[in-house]
């Protein structure tokens, strides 16, 4: 009898412990200090134009080409953040771009059509962000490490759920680094109607500027470190005082000549870069309108072009002419065909882009007209939830009359959000 009572008591105690464990597991707990998230895109495209590298030098020969198709993973990013307490926090983002490790072979369309090994940065993966932050108040936060340079609309709003097109807006993504991230220091803060940010970062590297992408290649580093003989500053201001409207100003100033391992080659040159950008958004459950305008100037562009043209064949420089000025402007609008009260949304959208990576040239540099482009796009975005989107788009890229226009149809799936 006593033995049976002991067994019953032990079983009862065990059941109570098990029940307590189960109920504890479903009882809400304090907010975790660890944050996990990310974003990603998968795309299928069909291009109705030639991909031959001579299509801009002998356009008539490739007018009737059947085109080509491709699958792509433009960006897959994993986010890890941690709140240490007392205002201290950490954030990091690891990015896999185009599904690879940032080393690839491509046919260079700007010059001879050679197969070129393209290395955007040293290492196997791209570290898009890694910073430590001390938050003193909402109006003052200090951030140090590898940070986003929020110049232009796309760099600040680069999640795939923040634009309608399948790929990031073409203009800003051509003439500027995107997403632009550098190592440095940032001060930022926000109030009910304003947000500001000022940055001190490493400068761009002039030996990787070129015709097609202007200064875009100068971000990051092909080496295991970032050369920082020259520095730069940037800022961004956002205003939210008007209902449903955000408008923003941003800019960048920095030297680029000599910010490479070939410092002596750029002796007595500054290669100063000045960029000014304006962007806005109007957003309601039924209508979204976004727009941007960006203008940039590079001093000493003719001399930098000459220096880069004389670099070794195995250098990372494109060795192509560089413009003194580049421009980008874009406008998109989308209308939700479903009821505003529903959780899902179906937007029909249109977008127009104008951009020219050789808008102005200096001295004897010849302006290559093939880099002046206008793009009309239209399509659908279906969002089952806020952080998930299925996209379809048809775009018509219009070049100068001596070249062939370029049409593309793309479909894609994308997400962005926090998992924990």
Instruction: Give CA–CA dist 167/412, Å, rounded.
Output: 9
> With contact defined as beta carbons under 8 Å apart, do 251 and 279 qualify?
no
Instruction: Give CA–CA dist 372/402, Å, rounded.
Output: 12
Nearest to 251 by CA among 185, 156, 330: 156
DSSP 19: H
Q: Which residue in this structure is represented by tokens 């806020």?
A: 386
Identify whether 179 is preceded by a cis peptide bond (ω within 30 of 0). yes
Residues 266-292 have pLDDT tens digits of 888 899 999 999 999 999 999 999 999
In angstroms, what CA-CA distances link 176 with 40, 126, 179, 181? 21, 17, 9, 11
Pick the more confident residue, 418 or 99. 418
Task: Extract the tokens encoding 129.
Answer: 């962000």
Domain-by-domain residue ranges, the chain? 33-418
> In a 3-state reduction of DSSP, which class is residue 215?
coil
> Residue 10: pLDDT above 70?
no
Q: pTM to 2 decimals?
A: 0.86
Supply the pLDDT for residue 369.
93
Q: Give me Rg for the CA atoms of the chain.
A: 25
Instruction: Give CA–CA dist 397/158, Å, rounded.
Output: 22
Nearest to 326 by CA among 299, 301, 359: 359
Instruction: Give CA–CA dist 356/235, Å, rounded.
Output: 24
DSSP 30: P
The CATH homologous superfamily for domain 33-418 is Porin (2.40.160.10)
Residues 217-261 have pLDDT tens digits of 999 777 778 888 889 999 999 999 999 999 999 999 999 987 877
Instruction: Give CA–CA dist 172/138, Å, rounded.
Output: 30
> Residue 121: pLDDT above 60?
no
Q: Which residue in this structure is represented by tokens 């990013």?
A: 77
Confidence of residue 403 (pLDDT cuts 50, 70, 90): very high
Of 48-62, 288-302, 405-419, least confident by mean pLDDT is 48-62
> With contact defined as beta carbons under 8 Å apart, do 189 and 137 qualify?
yes
Buried b (16+ CB within 10 A) or exposed e, 210-223: bbbbbbbbbbbbbe
> With contact defined as beta carbons under 8 Å apart, do 401 and 370 qualify?
no
Nearest to 76 by CA among 90, 58, 47, 96: 96
Task: Extract the tokens encoding 163.
Answer: 């634009």
Nearest to 373 by CA among 320, 410, 336, 330: 330
Query: Looking at the DSSP assignment, which residues form a beta bridge with residue 381?
Result: 347, 391
State the Cα angle at 107 between 203 and 206, rounded to 5°: 15
Residue 288 phi/psi, 5° resolution?
-130, 130
DSSP 169: P
Instruction: Give CA–CA dist 296/358, Å, rounded.
Output: 11
Confidence of residue 109 (pLDDT cuts 50, 70, 90): low
């Amino acid at each position: 009898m006593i033995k049976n009572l002991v067994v019953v008591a032990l079983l009862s105690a065990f059941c109570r412990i098990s029940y307590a464990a189960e109920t504890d597991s479903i009882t809400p707990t304090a907010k975790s200090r660890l944050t996990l998230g990310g974003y990603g895109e998968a795309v299928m495209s069909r291009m109705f134009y030639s991909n031959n590298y001579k299509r801009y030098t002998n356009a008539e020969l490739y007018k009737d080409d059947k085109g080509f198709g491709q699958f792509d993973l433009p960006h897959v990013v994993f986010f890890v953040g941690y709140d240490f307490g007392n205002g201290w926090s950490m954030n990091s983002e690891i990015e896999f771009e185009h599904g690879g490790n940032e080393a690839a072979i491509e046919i260079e369309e700007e010059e001879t059509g050679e197969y070129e090994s393209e290395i955007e940065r040293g290492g196997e993966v791209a570290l898009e962000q890694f910073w430590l932050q001390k938050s003193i108040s909402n109006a003052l936060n200090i951030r140090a490490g590898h940070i986003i340079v929020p110049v232009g609309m796309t760099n600040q709003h680069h999640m795939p759920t923040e634009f309608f097109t399948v790929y990031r807006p073409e203009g800003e993504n051509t003439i500027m680094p995107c997403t632009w991230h550098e190592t440095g220091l940032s001060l930022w803060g926000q109030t009910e109607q304003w947000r500001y940010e000022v940055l001190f970062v490493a400068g761009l590297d002039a030996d990787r500027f070129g015709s097609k992408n202007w200064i875009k290649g100068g971000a990051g580093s092909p080496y295991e470190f970032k050369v920082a003989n020259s520095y730069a500053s940037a800022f961004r201001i956002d205003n939210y005082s008007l209902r449903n409207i955000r408008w923003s100003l941003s800019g960048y100033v920095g030297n680029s000549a000599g910010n490479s391992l070939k410092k002596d080659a750029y002796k007595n040159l500054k290669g100063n870069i000045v960029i000014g950008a304006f962007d806005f958004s109007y957003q309601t459950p039924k209508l979204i309108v976004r727009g941007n305008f960006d203008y940039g100037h590079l001093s000493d562009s003719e001399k930098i072009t000459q220096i880069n043209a004389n670099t070794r064949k195995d250098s990372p420089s494109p060795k192509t002419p560089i413009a003194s000025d580049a421009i980008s402007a874009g406008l998109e609008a989308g209308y939700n065909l479903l009821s505003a009260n529903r959780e899902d949304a179906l937007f029909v959208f249109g977008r127009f882009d104008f951009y020219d990576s050789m808008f102005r040239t200096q001295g004897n540099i010849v302006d290559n007209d093939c880099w002046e482009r206008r793009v009309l796009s239209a399509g659908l975005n279906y969002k089952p939830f806020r952080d998930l989107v299925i996209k379809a788009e048809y775009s018509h890229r219009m070049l100068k009359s001596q070249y062939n226009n370029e049409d593309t149809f793309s479909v894609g799936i994308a997400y962005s959000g926090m998992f924990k």
